[in-house]
Amino acid sequence: MEKYKDTGLKLTPQRLAILNYLDGNKEHPSAEDIYRAVLKRFPTMSFATVYNTLETLRQRGGLLELTIDPDKKRFDPNTEHHHHLICVKCKRIVDIHGDYKLPIPNGERAGFEIIGNHIEFYGICPKCKKANSL
Amino acid sequence: MEKYKDTGLKLTPQRLAILNYLDGNKEHPSAEDIYRAVLKRFPTMSFATVYNTLETLRQRGGLLELTIDPDKKRFDPNTEHHHHLICVKCKRIVDIHGDYKLPIPNGERAGFEIIGNHIEFYGICPKCKKANSL
DNA sequence: ACACTTGACAAGAACAATTCTAATCTGATA
DNA sequence: TATCAGATTAGAATTGTTCTTGTCAAGTGT
């Protein structure tokens, strides 16, 4: 929660509820996950508020938007550089903190200015592996 | 095109048109790109046919579905293991063929069975860099 | 305390990408 | 060439996300 102080962000009760839900959350929730969680405390909460808050946070660098799940966007409050492993069955996502050297081969850069990278690992989680083998 | 032979795939004219458009295509087209391209030759083509064909191809391992573009799925007929660099402005995607070692640190595997990986590089393409600096 | 400005909120409409449905139609095989 | 599993079509439906509009709340200067 500390990290959201002093960013000029207006801390409304709704935003605090969202921030509180996100703080330390390692589930990589979708917008709907967040909406449903916050709805318990704010029954009048609107989807627009969730999306607006997430977008505001993202712009201020307090949140990452993950594209690894083909079905929907997932959000990660941990903005330190790291990677992800997703279960291709149930879409559970876990963090991977390996320190990788990822040089781009000469001639493949195509004149791009590189600003970042992210590794997607694909796998099957223990639960789905077990369910699969029944 | 060769690669699609002998897979038990029923080769209808529509599918051939899609395969022909995809063959060797390095643009990483979206479903709509494909639909629009094929529509020229098959004016009665339906979106469903495009999606059905893409899904069939994917299941048979003849096509990759990319999630790197946050707005829509992109498709890659090159199924050899490789990575991608996307322009965060215009969403142009280019191939990266570096050979990377990507071991998962002990204790972070979370019991997952690993089946693959893919690196997303983010950048700004020459065209957008130029447009930006005006 | 009052008017003003700015930004946030709620509700639902709108939108875009994708998937599904139901009714034909067709390619591959016997 | 008859058969039939699988493919095609048009359009409806669904899902995730964004936009619009009117209202509201907090902070500022008077």
Structural domains present in chain B: 2-75 (1.10.10.10), 80-132 (3.30.1490.190)
HEC profile of B71-92: CCCEEECCCCCCEEEEECCCCC
In this predicted model, what pLDDT tens digit does every residue of B43-102 receive, in sequence order? 999 999 999 999 999 999 999 999 999 999 999 999 999 999 999 999 999 999 999 999
Chain D bases under 7 Å from protein CB? Answer: 6-12, 15-20
**Measured between CB atoms, does B120 come within 8 Å of chain A?**
yes
State yes or no: ipTM above 0.85. Answer: yes
Which residues on adjacent β-strands are paired with residue B30? B74
Q: How confident is the model at residue B133 (pLDDT cuts 50, 70, 90)?
A: confident
Q: Which pLDDT score is estimated for B10?
A: 85
CA distance A131 to B62: 27
What is the gyration radius of the CA atoms in chain A, in angstroms?
17
Chain C bases under 7 Å from protein CB? Answer: 7-13, 16-22, 26-28
Q: Which pLDDT score is estimated for A1?
A: 56
CA distance B54 to B38: 13
Strand extents, DSSP E, A23-112: 64-66, 74-76, 83-87, 93-96
CA distance A124 to A127: 8
Among the listed ranges A38-42, A115-119, A120-124, which one has the minimum average pLDDT value? A38-42
Helix axes A31-39, A13-22, angle to 10 degrees: 120
The mean pLDDT value for B99-109 works out to 94
The answer to whether the CB atoms of A114 and B129 lie below 8 A apart is no
User: Looking at the predicted structure, is the pLDDT value of residue B8 above 80?
Assistant: no
Q: Which pLDDT score is estimated for A115?
A: 96
User: Looking at the predicted structure, is the pLDDT value of residue B3 above 60?
Assistant: no
The DSSP symbol for A76 reads: E
